[in-house]
Structure 1
């Protein structure tokens, strides 16, 4: 049955969107920031929620500048798409993308400026050492992104659900 666009829009999935940047140091150790606002997801990739009118790469660049003072170099290279079902932790589905930010020098990492309202620490650790610091689902996403960088095959990660924060 045909519906006018405004009526049809009421029937479709509601979702929020985000974009992140995956950085490593020159030894390919992932860089993450510690969130002051999210005890359930303490260590995160640099990035955030898309603003109205933004495209994913624009969000990734804006969030990166806001969160670290760094500007990722383009052109954008997609490492992963991420999807999460709604649940107790968030009432909407979540759709996101992770871009490759490249390898940072120690000087670039040292120049990171964090917004203390959002993040209070930046760390670079070997992938295996992140596992003890993150919820299993968050670490699985980080591992998938690291594998995508290493293999050149984009990851499809569709189990970042909000049902069990």
Structure 2
């Protein structure tokens, strides 16, 4: 079989589909992870973030989405804690989904008190210990949270792969 060169547009059409999201991982000064409850899926807790818009970098997406969803304006430097890959889930999400989770740092009590949620997307926020989050979240989602928290505490970067999540 001879190698046949394809023009870029034709070659790209042969590749798997993927979408990308980016978010910021925050804790309070006691190290408790900060998460938002999604309005569109019962029991789904997530970090401030969302899907990338055309022309955005992952970092720009994380900062923009955080501002839109919480009112918090993050001015820190990008530090990637981890990437997350979820396989194509058919009708639920018909493409691979790739995430970039950045370190948002520690929120002060004043910053937490100033959070204003977008009611179209999130109904509440909570700060809990990892043990408390484990009781509240599906195992795959909690595993991602625990891995990202570990990356933050150890100064490493993690890769989390999962297909069983919500």
| TM-score, scaled relative to structure 2 | 0.94
Q: Distance in 2 between matches of 1:35 and 1:97?
A: 19
Equivalent residue for 1:103, pick from 99, 103, 106:
106
Q: Does 1:15 align with 2:12?
A: no
Q: Distance in 2 between matches of 1:111 and 1:147?
A: 27
Kept in 2, the 8 Å contact 1:15–1:94? The answer is yes
Equivalent residue for 1:30, pick from 29, 33, 36:
33
Q: Distance in 1 between matches of 2:77 and 2:47?
A: 19
Please list every run of 5 or more consecutive structure 2 residues that lacks an aligned counterpart in the other structure: none
Equivalent residue for 2:80, pick from 68, 78, 81:
78
Q: What CA deviation, in whole Å up to 9, does each residue of 1:28-67 have, x standing for no partner?
A: 100000100122x511111000001100000000000000
Cα distance change, pair 56–164 in 1 and its aligned pair in 2 (3 A): closer
Q: Does 1:53 align with 2:33?
A: no
Q: What CA deviation, in whole Å up to 9, does each residue of 1:119-153 have, x standing for no partner?
A: 01010001110012111111000000000000001
Q: Distance in 1 between matches of 2:87 and 2:61?
A: 21
* CA radius of gyration, larger in: 2
Kept in 2, the 8 Å contact 1:17–1:95? The answer is yes
1:4 shift after superposition: 1.1
Equivalent residue for 2:150, pick from 142, 147, 150:
147
Please list every run of 5 or more consecutive structure 1 residues that lacks an aligned counterpart in the other structure: none
* Superposition CA RMSD, Å: 1.1
Divergent runs of 4+, >3 A: none
Question: 3-state DSSP class of the match of 2:98?
Answer: strand
Q: Distance in 2 between matches of 1:16 and 1:130?
A: 27
Q: Distance in 1 between matches of 2:44 and 2:121?
A: 11
Kept in 1, the 8 Å contact 2:27–2:106? The answer is yes
